[in-house]
Structure 1
């Protein structure tokens, strides 16, 4: 194997290593259940029926993106595509990257992922490993794409895990600083009150998903990167 690897040109070495990294995920450490098959299929069908253009901006990730129903209104001069699904985790987004991101050939991708992972009991390390593989896959398939990771929000219903959530945000920020065309958007402090607690007025009754006031903060935070 070493002799074969040495014979590869740099580009093919990256593809070679990425292939085996993803294969490893599927067969070993991240052999987790992949949910939302029917939801993703329905989302893909709806997008195809509505019609879309390549080269736009994709917003993807978990339900905080899925419920961002005002994307087109918030950014009217931008070709946005919303492919947020379910209460997805990083390994599920990795699995669905082709139908939900890659095929649109976006120039920018805004991603919200990781909160559900931590809430489900994953470690920050495992979550970051899966996020790193998302980055590797997208950068190998979409040359010069810009990736923007929206940091985890301080959900009141999950406040007992705020320490892990903030640790994940710190890792996301560090990762973004170390990689080309990868950026971190912090929204944590903007959603806290003067006592450092989550602003309940930004969330709906479940104290997890946001209302219009919450998305207003996200809109302002994202706008400068469009």
Structure 2
């Protein structure tokens, strides 16, 4: 009888703790919505109010990115208010670009210094683009091929084109794999992003008419909606436009890496990301690797 009583007490205690935790979460959610509503009403926009908005929002979404991806309907009001505040407190583009410019320049210089001390096989396969390329262990993933990786985190298409001679042209690649979702994440519409891809493809075709070009689809990530409104939607529209473009161009191939990252119900496979919810972990790249390998084998044979 005593054991049964203790068991009942444990169950009641557990239920009580769970209920308290749920109530705390609900209170935090309500407080965040109230914070967003107050932020919209606030007429004072300066560095202090801007920092408060972004810091508070970053903490809130960081703790809920998994639940948000599983149950986005729970956060409709908060997300709508968040996006309105994002537009209101948007940071200076000039400051962001200055910081990016310095970082990209240093990364390119590091590649240049490395190239000056090393030689590469003729007809290498070149991977170029943003962080999905930079974090990809391509030489290990495709040991049967001569691989050059020129990925730089945060590099957009304009920057790839700007450093084209150093990143691409000097290597005379037989295949170029391009991944870059930064333009869309920076707020550009799909047409602008696709236009930049076309400009880069034309430069490669002009210098290397026989080179095959792989346009790797933009991936959905857990934090798409936290980056900005319609980011996920615009990535998928861009993918569709790149696919249509590739069908009309000789030696241009669109590679769908996004669909395998989704479950049959369209929900994102959250287990493929590292803690930041944006960059792929080994499981994520293990999904991509066989898709790319099959295409490389097809083209090299």
Whether 2:151 is the aligned partner of 1:84: answer yes
Q: Displacement, 1:196?
A: 1.1
- In the alignment, what sits opposite 2:210? 144
Aligned residue among 95, 112, 121 for 2:187: 121
Q: Does the 8 Å CA contact 1:111/1:147 hold for their aligned counterparts? A: yes
2:122 paired with 1:54: yes
Correspondence for 2:249? 179
1:99-146 superposed Cα distances (whole Å, 9 cap, x missing partner): 111111011000101x11111011111111111110111100112110
* TM-score normalised per structure 2: 0.62
Unpaired segments of 5 or more residues in structure 1? 1-31
Asked if 1 retains the 8 angstrom alpha-carbon contact of 2:130 and 2:179, the reply is yes
Residue 131 of structure 1 aligns to a residue in which SS?
helix
In structure 1, the residue corresponding to 2:295 is in which secondary structure? Answer: coil
TM-score by length of 1: 0.81
Structure 2 alignment gaps of length 5 or more: 1-96, 297-301
Other structure's SS at 2:242 match: helix
Q: What's the secondary structure of 1:149's corresponding residue?
A: strand
What displacement does 1:48 show?
3.4
Contact 1:57/1:78 (<8 A) preserved: yes
What is the distance in 1 between the residues matched to 2:214 and 2:105?
A: 25
Residues 274 and 281 in structure 2, CA contact (< 8 A), matched pair in contact too = yes
Corresponding position of 1:107: 174
Q: Look up the SS of the partner of 2:151 in the other structure.
A: coil
Say whether residues 1:68 and 2:139 are aligned partners: no
Q: CA shift at 1:54, angstroms? A: 2.5
Runs of 4+ in 1 over 4 A off after TM superposition: none
Contact 2:124/2:174 (<8 A) preserved = yes
Size of the aligned set, in residue pairs, is 193
Aligned position for 1:133: 199
The separation in 2 between residues aligned to 1:144 and 1:50, in whole angstroms, is: 25
Query: 262, 267, 278: which one pairs with 1:208?
Result: 278
Query: How far has the Cα of 1:55 moved from its partner?
Result: 1.3
> What is the aligned counterpart of 2:232 among 162, 170, 178?
162
Q: Which has the larger radius of gyration?
A: 2
